[in-house]
Structure 1
Amino acid sequence: MTGHVLPVLLRGWDDAHARLDQRLAGLGDTEYLDEPVDGAWSVRRGDDGTWATDWADPAPDPAPVTTIAWRLWHLASGCFADYLAQSPPGRPLTVSGLQWHGDVGSALRDLEVAATAFRAAMTDLGEEGIWRPLGPAWGPYADSSWADLLVHATDELAHHGAEIALLRDLYRWR
């Protein structure tokens, strides 16, 4: 069998990204921060005026329901941007850690910045480069390849995108 796997992996990424992008159309600040259940994790303004996500380590069991704001932070900052922090392009966002945005416009902008930067990094690695190991900075995942990370990131995009879509559906029906 001959051929290249990178275009196939990127097609999966592009499909998941396009689905999420369509489902985010028309999202407003109220829905972005809506807490569908009591005790939901979200993004909150601190006493100093900055916004940060709810978090606990270790995570509670069962895991709390999270808002659209929290899920967008997780995708953009906690996944795509953090993955790039260990790569030559570096982290593409100015927010880090638990910092995030209290408004949907800034969140969607940073989601696009992080997603675009992650995809570009995978493309820049090329067909041979995606098979290189992630390296020592990745700890227990050091021997995993960049292709493994791309598959994982696509899974994050698809499953959190579906959860965001469901939250939007439930919001409309409430």
Structure 2
Amino acid sequence: MRTDRLGILLDQFDKAREQAEVRLTGLGDEEYLWEPVAGCWSLRRRAEVRTPRAFGPGEWVMDLGAADIPASEYSQVAEEAASGLTVEEIAGLWSVTPARVEEVLAFTGVPEPDETPVTTIAWRLAHLHYQFAGAWEWTFGDHKQDPKLMVDFSPSAAVTLERFWPTVDRWRESVGQVTDEQLDTVGFSQYPYGSDPEEPFISALWGNNYELIHHMAEIALLRDLYRARG
């Protein structure tokens, strides 16, 4: 077992990936697209979208609602402002108006909990897929492709997993080669959706581990609920 900074993060990632692959064994199409409650976000044919910013390069697109700053991220916006980013720059990061950023920065007290939609297994896998594809492109690739247009989403669980794991493994292989200097380099990842360009790469790497762990835990729970439905 490695105890260096990169080694610890790689061990964490490898364990999470191993568990995730086991928990996804036997995933079928019906379960993959199962909507346990009304109003779920999922993958849908382009002609059947229900959300204003659904995206994807092909026939099947991924639900996405109107742009906003969730209450859980108010503190992040405050940190971005404290770091020297202008209101206009922050608005660009969150795809909202400067007025919305000013509203968030002026807020005092405890914000109401976010109301977020339940998302299907298909949605969560799609989210992870384009994030890992985009993270690789904007860290080790050409820094050109829009992450939201890099993955051709599929209604087939088998096809999705066949494409997903190589994407994840390519990221892991490249991360395994980074140096200590690169770990500490601010902007080593230029991933365009989020704060990666303003962070040392070790922070972005930690964030990608977190994404894999918490979304796979959610998928595992959905699988449990699907099996126990009745």
Task: Sort the TM-score into its range (normalised by shorter chain).
Answer: 0.7 to 0.9
Aligned with 1:80 (options 124, 127, 132) = 132
CA contact (8 A) 1:52 1:98 kept: no
Matches of 1:135 and 1:10, distance apart in 2 = 18
Deviates more, 1:152-161 or 1:60-69: 60-69
1:160 aligned to 2:179? no
The equivalences for 1:132-147 within 5 A come to 132-135=185-188, 137=190, 140-147=195-202
1:55 aligns with 2:64: yes
Answer yes or no: is the 8 Å Cα contact 2:187–2:200 preserved in 1. Answer: yes
Provide, for residues 31-72 of structure 1, a one-character-per-residue CA deviation record: whole Å limited to 9, x for no partner: 000001111000012349811111112268511000000000
Task: Note if contact 2:45-2:59 (Cα within 8 Å) is conserved in structure 1.
Answer: yes
In 2: Cα distance, 1:98 partner to 1:11 partner: 27
* Partner secondary structure for residue 64 of structure 1: coil
Post-superposition CA distance 1:68-114 (Å, at most 9, x none): 0000000111x21111221233589x982685111111211222122
The answer as to whether partners of 1:53 and 1:99 remain within 8 angstroms in 2 is: no
Rg larger for: 2
The percent of aligned pairs where both chains have the same amino acid is: 35
Q: Distance in 2 between matches of 1:88 and 1:42?
A: 29
Which whole-Å CA distance do the structure 1 matches of 2:224 and 2:119 have between them? Answer: 15
Which is bigger in relative contact order (C-alpha 8 A, separation at least 6)?
1
Residues 171 and 18 of structure 1: is their aligned pair in 2 closer, same or farther, counting only changes over 3 Å?
same
Partner AA of 1:118 in structure 2:
W
> Residue 136 and residue 173 in structure 1: after superposition, are their counterparts in 2 closer, same or farther (change >3 A)?
closer
> Which is worse superposed, 141-150 or 57-66?
57-66
Q: What is the alpha-carbon distance in structure 2 between the residues aligned to residue 136 and residue 165 of structure 1? A: 29
Change (3 A) 1:119 1:53: same
Contact 1:43–1:102 at 8 Å: present in 2 too? Answer: yes
The CA RMSD measured in Å over matched residues stands at 2.7
Return 161-170 or 148-157, whichever deviates more: 148-157
Q: Is 2:41–2:117's contact at 8 Å kept on the other side of the alignment?
A: yes
Kept after mapping to 2: 8 A contact 1:12/1:154: yes
The answer to whether residue 73 in structure 2 is matched with residue 64 in structure 1 is no
8 Å contact kept, 2:32–2:121: yes
Q: Which moved more, 1:23-32 or 1:123-132?
A: 123-132
In the alignment, does 2:227 pair up with 1:172? yes
Runs of 5+ unmatched residues, structure 1: none
Change over 3 Å in CA distance of 1:138–1:170 after alignment to 2: closer
Give the Cα separation in 1 of the matches to 2:159 and 2:153: 9
**Alpha-carbon contact 2:189-2:201 (below 8 Å) kept:** no
How many residue pairs get matched? 170
> 1:33–1:137: structure 2 CA closer, same or farther, 3 Å change rule?
same
